[in-house]
Amino acid sequence: MSGTDRRSTESGAAKKQKEPSSLVCVTTFLELMVVAFVITVDILIRLTNIFPLRRQPFSCADETISRQTSRSQFIGFAFDHDLPDSIVYSLSFCLPLFIILAGEVGLWAFAEDRQRTIRVLCQNCRVPQVTRRLVRFVGVFVFGAFTLMVFVDVTKLMTGRLRPNFLELCKINQTACRMNGNLGDDSLCLEKDEMVIKHARSSFPSMDAALSSYAAMFISTYVHGALRSRSVRVLRPFLTVLFCMLSLLCGLVKLGIGSSHWTDIAAGFASGSFIAVYLGRYVLRGFNEHEKTERVFSQLDQILGEQRLLEQLIRELGAPPSLPLQGYQIPRAHTDDRWRSLNNKV
């Protein structure tokens, strides 16, 4: 591409950048509608009986559904009762949002590169880069979390797998069950709360394992993609290991107290991790900013100009035999004194 064509391309792109864009508002509105739809579907599934649950008969003598929480090995050791779902949901939503907010504010405050702004609807409506990144990352995270919850809830309704402590939750009438040949249905349960019965019949997959693994993998992808400064080499693996271990412990608690099967927890871990990695790596492109074509050409021109100056200085001073010039090489600061002075001149 010639210099004239490149300058015309850059001027056209710069003019386009100055013009306000209404497409951003349209796409943002559509994406908000999609997120609202997913949230509404999840609320209807969890809090209503609009969607039917698969109800299979059970045996009162089945050992796989006869576990009792009071006899769990975890009681008296580390946990006295089940980890409430409200705590798991709150931490899975709040911790990633806090990490993203702190990371983006830190990048905005300490970044050396100039951050780009866009104009929407009018010339004076400017949206800074930190705001765009926060809205994009938080929106995708919330969308992925509720999409995962819808997937897990629909799978629970379709499978209707009984929990290991199903007989304890439904408070089975053992006398009536034995008179019925150890076969029964929900009519033999003394627990009449429909939401409790629905919870006891929806074991696969584990929602806590899925949501906690989603939050852990999303945070891990974010800190390794967005926080690339050399000063946070220990912080990145620390946050990754910390949240992954918390997610693993969350699943082990459910397994230890007998409220979920190990296959439920494994399926929850797999589904949550898959959605988090997909959104972080392919939808958000590793949490990196998209480099525009004109900026890439400008950086390439600068590199080529420095390369031509470097070749001219090498012809004047002579290149050392241990460091031959092969193609386009970037001068390093850890060479000998002669090359350090050459790098300073460049």
- pTM for the whole thing? 0.76
Q: 164 with 67: CB under 8 angstroms?
A: yes
- pLDDT confidence of residue 329: 46
- The whole-angstrom separation of Cα 24 and Cα 143 is 18
Spans of the chain, pLDDT less than 70: 1-22, 70-82, 111-125, 127, 289-301, 316, 318-346
Residues 6+ away with beta carbon under 8 Å from 224: 236, 240
- pLDDT confidence of residue 120: 59
Beta strands in the chain (DSSP E): 58-59, 118-119, 126-127, 183-184
Residue with tokens 């995708």: 140
Q: Is the peptide bond before 320 cis (omega within 30 degrees of 0)?
A: no
- pLDDT confidence of residue 122: 60
Q: 166 with 200: CB under 8 angstroms?
A: yes
- The whole-angstrom separation of Cα 121 and Cα 123 is 7
- pLDDT confidence of residue 256: 83
- pLDDT confidence of residue 343: 47
Q: 3-class SS at 240?
A: helix
Closest listed residue to residue 149, CA positions, set 218, 85, 211: 211
The backbone torsions φ and ψ at residue 22, rounded to the nearest 5 degrees and listed phi first, read: -95, -10
pLDDT in tens, 306-321: 777 777 777 767 654 4
